[in-house]
Structures are given as C-alpha cells and as structure tokens.
Amino acid sequence: MNANLKHWQLRRDDERIAWATLDRQGTSTNTLSAEVMAELAQLLDELDRDPPKGLIFRSGKTAGFIAGADIEEFTRLDSAATARDLVQRGWDLYNRLAAVPYPTLALIRGHCMGGGTELALACRFRIVVDEPATRIALPEVMLGIVPGWGGMLRLPQVVGPAAALDMMLTGKGIDAKKAKRIGLADECVPPRVMENAARKLVLSGRPRRRLPWLQRLMNGPLKAFVAAQARKKTAQKVRREHYPAPYAIIDMWAKYDGNALAVPAGIPTSLDAIVASPTTKNLVRVYYLQERLKSFGKDIDFAPRHVHVIGAGVMGGDIAAWCALRGMTVTLQDQDIERIAPAVARAAKLFERRLKGKMSVSLALDRLIPDPRGDGVRQADVIIEAIFENLSAKRQLFADIERRAKPDAILASNTSSLRLADIATALRNPARLVGIHFFNPVAMMPLVEIVSAADTNVENAQRAAAFVRRLDKLPLPVTDAPGFLVNAVLAPYLHEAMRCVDEGIAAETVDAAAIAFGMPMGPLELADAVGLDVAIAAGRQLFAAAVKPPKVLAELVEAGHLGKKSDKGFYVYRDGKAQKSGTASAPDGLAERLIQPLLDATRRLVEQGIVADADLADAGVIFGTGFAPFTGGPMNFLKTRTS
C-alpha cells in the first residue's frame, strides 16, 4: 500500500491482483478532483514498477462507484485554455490506463457517472452489481458539456454507436441488467459474489468483447450515415443554438474519433466554443438549483410506510401509484370500487413500464389497496386529499380526517388553486395541514410544491419535504397564495396564448413560437393536456373577476371539447397524439409576447415572497413547467437580457 495516497487505497492479494479502492476523503461520494486524478497517476506509476496479474477498481463508499468529475472545479474554469488542460489531463490518464499490459476491471456497484464511466470504459472488463442503485451514465450533455476523457471514443467501440449515442445525447442512465444486455458490462452479478466474480474474470485471459460486424461498419465506413441520422433525430428535440453540446458530441465522434482536443478552436462544435457557451454556464446553474431542491427535508428523520390518498381521479390515482412504486403501502379511497378501478389499471401500466419482472409488478400492485370506506386513514403516516377543487367539500373532508387520523400523521392537500388557509379553517388544529402539490403527469414531472400557510407547523412542512424526497421528487417550499408558484406563472402564459388564438393566430403557430423559444411543449397543447375545464376553473381562481376567460377557451369548454381527454381541444387527438401539419413557423416577436407574462409573474411572486428567493423561483419554474433550461430560469433570463 502506498502511504502517500490520501484518496486511493492500493493493496495486493495472495494471487497478486491489485485492488485499487477509491474513497475520497471528506465527501460522501467519490468525485474525480484534480488531486484524485493525480493520485491515480501515482498509483499507475507504482504498478508500472511492479506490474500485478490484474488490477481491479472499486469504491470505498456505500453511496456508489464514482459520481464523475468534480463539478465545483469545473465551475472555476476561467478560460478555454484551462478547460483544455482539464480535458487533456483525463484524456491522457485514461489512455495510459487503457494501454497497461495487465488486465484491468471496474467493479461497479451503485451510481457510475461521467468520468467514472469513462474510467470503467478504459478498463478491459466491467462487472456490474445487480442492485436497484446501480446506474451507469454519461450525463455530461445535461451540463452542456461533452464526455472528454475518452467516453466518445470508447463507448461506441464497446456497445456500438447507436446505443452509445443514445446514452451520450440524452444523458440517461441504464441499470445493471441493461448494461449487461447491451455489452457495456461483461457480467452482472449479485453483491454476495461480486469480489469473487471480479477476481475470476480479471485472471480469465478472456479477450475483450468484439462488436458484431454491422456495429463495426457503423463505427467505420457507415459512420457518416449514422452521424447524419443522429443529427436529424437530435434536431427534432433541441435546437443547435440552444443546446450545442449534443451536436458537438456527434461531430467529435464522427470526425475526430471522439477526441475533443482534436477539434480546431474556430469550429462551432469545438471544446472552446462549448465551454464559452452561455448554455453551459446556465445548465451548470440548473444542476446546482436541482441540488438545492434535493436538500429540503434531507436532515429530517421521517420514513413514512403507509400513505392514504383520497380521490382516485387522474391526479389522486397517479399519486397513489407513484407512492406504491416507491415501496410504500397505499390505500386509495373514493366513493366506490368502480371509481378506483381505472386508477389501479393505470398503475398496472406504470409498474409494467418501470419495473422489471412479473414478480416486481405483482408486489407493487399488492401495495396499492382499494379502500372505498377510507379505513386506511387510521393507520396512515401521510394522508393526501386529491378531490375536486371545491372549498366546502375539502373542509368537510378534512374535518372528518382529523378525527380519525393518527396524531402525528401528515394531513396534506393536493389543491392547485385554493388557499390552504381557507381549507384549514375546518381543522381543530390548522397547523397540521400542509400542501403537497403534485403536477400532471405525476410520473413525469419532478417538482412537488410544499405549501405552508401562516399557521402551518414548520416541522410538518419539513416532514412533507422529506416524504417528497423519498418519492424521488424535488420539493419546493412555497407560501400560501392562489396558484402558489407554478400555476401562478403558467396561468398568464396560457392566457396570453389563448388570446393570440382569439386574434386569429393558429394554435399550431402559437405553439411553434414557444417551442422555438425553447419550451418543451407549446402552451396550447399543454392546456389540452391539463384539461380545458381545469384551465378555465383555475383561471377563475387566479384572475380577477373582471378578467374574462379567452373566448376560444369558453367556447371549447361549452362544446365539451376539453382537450386530450375528450380527443379534441385546441387540437384533435388520435391515439393520444395531437394532429399537426408540422409546417407552422413563428412570426417575429410572438415568442417574446408569449413569454413576457410568465416572466412578469415570476418576478412579482419573488417580490411577494411566495418563494424565498430568485434562485428558487428559477428552480420551480424550470422543474415545474419545463421552462427552457438553457436560459437558467426566468429570473436569470431577465437578468441576462437586461445586462
């Protein structure tokens, strides 16, 4: 063992296998700081002097393998030259690792991200541990950067360009079984045999896995064709001027063998251009905003086991399904079993998509219990009301719940437009009520607003945030006001879009303008997805009585055209998809007109203290509405636009 190493531990076993364990000091996760990388070079120096029969990398952290490069170091880069130096360091070191004469293996348990994945790719073999926590990804594109330490070179050689580009261009992780299936991992094993499996494989003498001949063609003579298809597919999702990194990844792989350092500085997809892009700065900002949301409820010791949801409509049923998916026992209440059955059917489809194996799906369904009489209220740790938006009905319901619930149970409302304080008047102890406001579709939307009225107990709000984190969602603390944050900024945005239609602008043209700005979906298609009856009811709550609903909205609702759920709204829907010509283009100034009411509303809500500060407002609007992440959020966009 080298006593000079602070973050790495190197030992040799009786079979002369070297075990390199990364356990970065002072952190709960392994990240690849400059110091950690320098020590890795020292470790390889020592092994050069006395080569082992094999080298196995593993983690000394329970949290996972390696979380990637040190993001804080990246944010301190002050020039393209320092960025190139950082990339050069990792590129050279991993090329050196890939060239050692003895077999190498990465034993991956838990998360393996970015530079950690690139280290694993530089090894001859990879073993993944078959646990839910094991996820492998190259998520650099989500920060506006590229996998510069060899990922763009080696991943296509290991799994083929189609699977590699999918991972690199989306940043999405894959689980252990998929890693084995696509060839990223040589073996997928349970924890109890992982060390023996690693020892056996590194000494096996097995050659590297060879790609099938068609994949080799796609990495060679057909590379230009594959790249052209990837560019076309990427252009359908993001615009080059908004998100240059995915286009840079394609070009660096296709033209420069995945070497970011080889791209001339004057080219738009060069490393220099990527690092200098405002998108990169803003996406790193979004990363830190997300980490801040994750911190809410982090230090609260609250692990609910039983959730009771009242209201088996789309929102209530999907909240119940998500809680069951995350391992909680859920009782779902509505007036009769017939009203609960559709929610259970939707849950079954969600479980089939998200879970692997019939047994896992069956166990999740067993955790979702129809409860028309509401008996689950008495045992529940968290009780969520998700009935229709009627103040009198909610008051009556909570008065009954309070009498039957455990004294320490969280009483929560999923209301989207009513004031929490008005609902709480029905309770003997109004401090118990907290808002836990999910967004539709529950499975897709990461944000959940944690609403506190003036009387809400602070600890209850913190426990609600801890509950939301256990659901793997992002809690956003907001104060009690109509629409809270997200709906209060969406309402004027949707209202302005509908006014445009009143003026004769085609719905598809309006939506095209918003998408060109960088929104993930147009406002009118979004209104159709929410439900036009819901939109008009929320508008009545959020706007002054003198503000009439847009004419087109009132006419559609009166005709029973409620959007996607009725197959007709601003669009006609077939098989759940809006029918569009696909030829609409946005006139100059339309996007600015649509976005301005959202910007104004966000600024006003920050001034009113609905959220604690501008950063949290940006986080809420990005993760709650999909507001163009490349801008860094509406408040950041306002600041940069006026600077």
* Residues known to be catalytic: 416, 437, 449, 487
DSSP state of 609: T
Check if the beta carbon of residue 37 is closer than 8 Å to that of residue 66. Answer: no
Nearest to 422 by CA among 464, 382, 451, 392: 392
Burial code of 24-36, b = ≥16 C-beta within 10 A, e = fewer?
beeeebbbbbeeb
Q: Measure the CA–CA gap between 50 and 108, rounded to whole angstroms.
A: 25
Helix (H, G, I), strand (E, B) or coil at 506: coil
The conformation of residue 563, written as its DSSP 8-state character, comes to B
For residues 192 and 479, give the distance between their C-alpha atoms in angstroms, rounded to a whole number.
48
Which element (helix H / strand E) includes 360? Answer: helix 358-367
For residues 631 and 349, what is the distance between their CA atoms, to the nearest angstrom? Answer: 35
- The answer to whether the beta carbons of residues 315 and 386 sit under 8 Å apart is yes
Tokens found for residue 283: 């996406």
Among candidates 159, 187, 167, 173, which has minimal Cα distance to 56?
187
Rounded distance, CA 288 to CA 220, Å? 39
Q: Which of 538, 329, 568, 575 is nearest to 440 (CA)?
A: 538
Q: Where would I find the H helices in 183-277? A: 194-202, 213-219, 223-235, 244-256, 271-276
Backbone angles phi, psi at 59, to 5 degrees: -105, 145
Tokens of 24: 């970065």
The verdict on whether omega for the bond into residue 370 sits within 30 degrees of 0, i.e. cis, is no
Q: Give the residue ranges of DSSP H helices in 480-522.
A: 486-502, 507-517
Residues forming beta bridges with residue 19, ordered by sequence position: 11, 56
Residues contacting 66, CB < 8 A, separation 6+: 22, 30, 31, 32, 59, 112, 113, 115, 116, 117, 119
Q: Could you count the other beta carbons within 10 Å of the beta carbon of residue 450?
A: 26
How many helices (H) and strands (E) would you count in the chain?
27, 20
- Count CB-CB contacts under 10 A for residue 303: 10
Contact (CB, 8 A) for 408 and 585: no
Contact 141, 286 (CB under 8 A): no
- What's the 3-state SS for 371-395? CCCCHHHHCCCEEEECCCCCHHHHH
CA distances (Å), origin 50, targets 16, 40, 46, 98, 382: 10, 16, 7, 17, 59
Residue 170 to residue 172: CA distance in whole angstroms: 5
- According to DSSP, the β-strands at 64-66 and 111-113 are parallel
Order of strands across the sheet that contains 329-333:
368-370, 329-333, 306-310, 382-385, 410-413, 433-437, 447-452, 474-479
